[in-house]
Every structure is written in structure tokens, then in C-alpha cells.
Structure 1
Amino acid sequence: MTHRLKKEDKYNYIEAGEGTPIIVLHGLMGGLSNFDSVIDFFSTIGYKVIVPELPIYTMSLIKTNVKSFANYLHDFIEYKGFDKVVLLGNSLGGHIGLYHTKLFPEKVKALIITGSSGLYESAMGSGYTKRSDYEVIKKKAQEVFYDPEVATKEIVDDVYETVNDRNKLVKTLAIAKSAIRHNMAKDLPKMQTPTCIIWGKNDNVTPPEVAEEFDALLPDSELFWIDKCGHAAMMEHPNKFNDIMENWLTKRGF
């Protein structure tokens, strides 16, 4: 199903369904469509699913950092008038969700992270020295997934366009540095928000030991694995991902 992008005030976002709000946070190179299966499924079972476009490439360079994006998310939640939300984030989106939860714990009833940055950032923003070589970029895009076929031409083209846009590349590198600065190892043990960690067993970007470290550091977390799965579980195994998330939310009373 294709979803219409709403444009209101300074926000662009997809919204579907009615009920408990789930705000979905995309990654650095991830489009809103990466979460189509999440939107389609949860919007029909009692949740309002909202996917905002994060201002990754539109913030001023000085504000291109994890903390600014977390504050932007807070402003969006206030704009929408939500009391408490469930946050779901992939990759950089997970990191933004975690940082937002650190700053505004009273606004977050539950957190779901998958392939999240925040502890291990060596893969972010690296390896673009041969960015003009389409085949190199294609290989990097395929490495995100266990099954390289998931990296469609559209996905590869988007990544290629991003890394060959000088403004976007500068912002990408700024975000990579910010992610390292905003490492959350010391913050996580103080965060009491219930957290569901869903991870691909074959994630090359944020390897499985990162998920184990998140689980060890967070006081109230549960870790779930998806086999034969890379960095974007909600794309590669959408049904399994949705089942795990739904069961966890139901068990926790969300």
C-alpha cells in the first residue's frame, strides 16, 4: 500500500490508523517506505502509526546531530498533541529514539529498536571514498541485507544519489561524527523505559554483539533474534518483525 505524505507546519509525515500512537523513526539512508509493512499491519489493529520525515539533510550543519533530531522529535510529538507514545527506530532512528527517551522519558511508554546505532558507530558514514562508482555503492547497499536481492535498484539509486550530493554527504559525515559523540553506554543503565530489541542475526552494520550490549545495559529490555536477517529486519522479514513487536506490545499492555 502506498501512503500519502501529509505536509503540516514544518512537518512531513505519514499517518495511518487510530489508537495508541507508534512513531516510527527511519535511518540515515532509510526511506519512509522501509516501514510499509509496519504501517499496514499496526494501523489495522488499534494503533495510530506515524512516520515523520526526519530533517537529516535540511537542518543547518551546526544542528545536524543526534540531540537536535531528538529535540525535533519532541517538538513533533508536542505538535501532534500526544501524551505518551511508542517509539520504533531503525539504525540512526533507533539512536534518535533512545536519545529522545533519555531527554524526555515521560513522553515514551515503550521503545522498540532494531539495528540501532548508539553504541557502535564504525559503519556510519564510512566507505564513500569511491562514491562515484555505482557498483561499489550497490555492493555497500547489498551488504545491509542478508539477502542482497532486497537491495532493489530503487534503494541503490537512492543511496547513490545521496552520497554523490555534496551537501548530503557533508551532512552524512556530520551525523556519523555526532553518533560517536552521543554514545549512550553511560546513559542506558539509567533508562527505565521498557525496550524491545529486535535484531538480525546476520547484521553486518551493527553486529549481534551490539544487540547483546544494549540488552545488558538497559534495565528493562528483551532481545529477540531474526535468523538470516541483516540490518533492516522490518524490510527483510516483515511478518516475523511485526509478530515479535505485536506480541511484545500486547504482553506489556501497550
Structure 2
Amino acid sequence: MAQNPSMPNLVLLPGLACDERIWEAQIPALPQAFNTRVSDAQRHNGTIEGMAAAVLRDNHGPLVLCGASMGGMVAMEAARQAPERIAGLALLGTSARPETPEMFTLREGAIEYFERGELRDVIEPNVYFAFHPAQAADPLLVQRYLDIVLGAGAQQLISQNRAVMRRPDARLHLGSVRAPVLLMCGDDDKLAPPECTNEMAALLPQAEVVWVPACGHMLTMEKPELVNAALNDWLAKHFA
């Protein structure tokens, strides 16, 4: 099927220190009627607000924004900045809340390691927070994750963590979103736990919620078939 110029553009927004590789199982499975691209706004802007503005600037016309983790925060901020541009939001493993004091302190400590170039000391233990135990035991999956995050480098890890630490409280405007919304969450997500998704769902009565079993924070890598099925069902329902 060829691209349909009447369809909104589909923009995939990676999480912190991630890139197009976290979407490698989704891109070939998504409907070909969409003009699909992966944003790299997170690499060139130091705030969630700046990343969202870049996404809106770099992509024309109506947009379906599909964001994972920090990418979901960027998607919600883009919806605040330009609600008339948003045709749909798919928010995976994310939170509308501002940073908690506990996580702010943890990120400050991690940044000190990054500034010394000690990336592995932080990122390797983080595997057990990012993945469900079953997936954390998969050496190939873990190595792919480490390649992506360590490959981002210290400066990106510092900049993007600071952006997340200073993120806005999206709950203040999320209820004004009128476009279709898909919320997905792993049932064992330790970084954006299920109560965050429940909170967003309460603000978005039109949202469809998909719980991914035996899954942690990295939904697109941990359970690609389930993520693909949910995304394709939602896209077909609202944009066929």
C-alpha cells in the first residue's frame, strides 16, 4: 500500500537516550499509508518544551504522535503548544506528572557519574528497572538496550536527564486534548508505573488503555508483537 497524502504524519518519539532503534520492530509493521518518521528532536534541544517545539516545526500538517517514556512527555507538550495540529496521541510507558523529589535526587546522582564518564555504573544496573525480569534475563535484548543508551554518550545522557527533571506538569492541560488517545503500559513498569497511566486515563475519557502483561518500561523492545497489534488496531480504528 502506498502512502496516502490525506493521512496525518505519524511521528515516533524515542525515550531518554534512545533513538530509532527502539522502534525497529514497529516501523515495518505500521500501516504504509502513513508517512512515518522517527524524531531526533531529543538530541538537539535541552528541554521538553524545546523538543516539542522542534517536533512541531520539523513535521508539517496534522500529526499522530507516538511517544515512549520521555517521548510521551514530548508528545503531551506538543499537544499543549499546538492542539490544533494533533490528530492523535499514543503514549507508551510514560507519565504526565512532574519529576518527583526522589527521582530528581537520583538523576542528580546519575549525572555526577555521567560527568565523570562512568556511564556503565549507572546504565547497567538500570536494566533491572527498565525491563521485566524475564526480559532482563535475555542477553541479546539487554545488549541491544545497552548499545543504544551507552551509544548516546555522556552529554546526551546529561542533557536529556536534565530535561526530564525540569519537565512540566502535563496534568494541567491534558484534559483539554480532544484527539484520539492510546495509553499503553507494562504491568511491571517500575519507571512509569501503572498508576501514572491510570491518572492519565482519568483525565482523558476518550483514551483507550492497553495493559501489556509481563512487561516493564521498554514496551517496544520487550513485547513488540503486542505493541504492534495495539498500535495497528488503534490506527485502523481512527485513521482508516
Moved more, 64-73 or 201-210: 64-73
1:54-93 deviation per Cα after TM superposition (whole angstroms, max 9, x unaligned)? 2x3433xxxx111111111111113xxxx31211000111
Q: 1:156 matched to which residue of 2?
A: 146
Deviation, 1:174, is 2.4
Q: 191, 214, 224: which is aligned to 1:238?
A: 224
| TM-score under structure 1 length normalisation | 0.79
Does the CA-based 8 Å contact 1:25-1:52 persist in structure 2? yes
Does the CA-based 8 Å contact 1:141-1:159 persist in structure 2? no
**1:31-70 to 2 correspondence within 5 Å?**
31-44=19-32, 46-54=33-41, 56-59=42-45, 64-70=46-52
Flag the 1:24–1:136 CA change in 2: closer, same or farther, 3 A. Answer: closer
1:71 aligns with 2:53: yes
Which segments of 5 or more consecutive residues in structure 1 lack a partner in the other structure? 1-16
1:186-241 deviation per Cα after TM superposition (whole angstroms, max 9, x unaligned)? 11122212110011111011001000001001242111100001112121111111
Q: 1:225 matched to which residue of 2?
A: 211
Tell me, in whole angstroms, the C-alpha distance in 2 between the residues paired with 1:195 and 1:144: 24
Flag the 1:90–1:169 CA change in 2: closer, same or farther, 3 A. Answer: closer
Q: 2:67 matched to which residue of 1?
A: 89
- AA aligned opposite 1:32: E
1:201 aligns with 2:152: no
Does the CA-based 8 Å contact 1:22-1:88 persist in structure 2? yes
| TM-score under structure 2 length normalisation | 0.83
Q: 1:247 matched to which residue of 2?
A: 233
Higher-RCO chain (CA-CA 8 Å, sequence separation at least 6): 2
Q: Give every structure 1 segment of 4 or more consecutive aligned residues whose post-TM-superposition deviation is greater than 6 Å.
A: none
Flag the 1:103–1:226 CA change in 2: closer, same or farther, 3 A. Answer: same
Q: 1:104 matched to which residue of 2?
A: 82
Flag the 1:204–1:214 CA change in 2: closer, same or farther, 3 A. Answer: same
Tell me, in whole angstroms, the C-alpha distance in 2 between the residues paired with 1:235 and 1:158: 12
Q: Normalized per residue, which structure has more strand?
A: 1
Tell me, in whole angstroms, the C-alpha distance in 1 between the residues paired with 2:216 and 2:26: 17
Query: Percent identity among equivalent residues?
Result: 22
Deviation, 1:143, is 2.1
**CA RMSD after TM alignment:** 2.4
Q: 4, 18, 24: which is aligned to 2:3?
A: 18
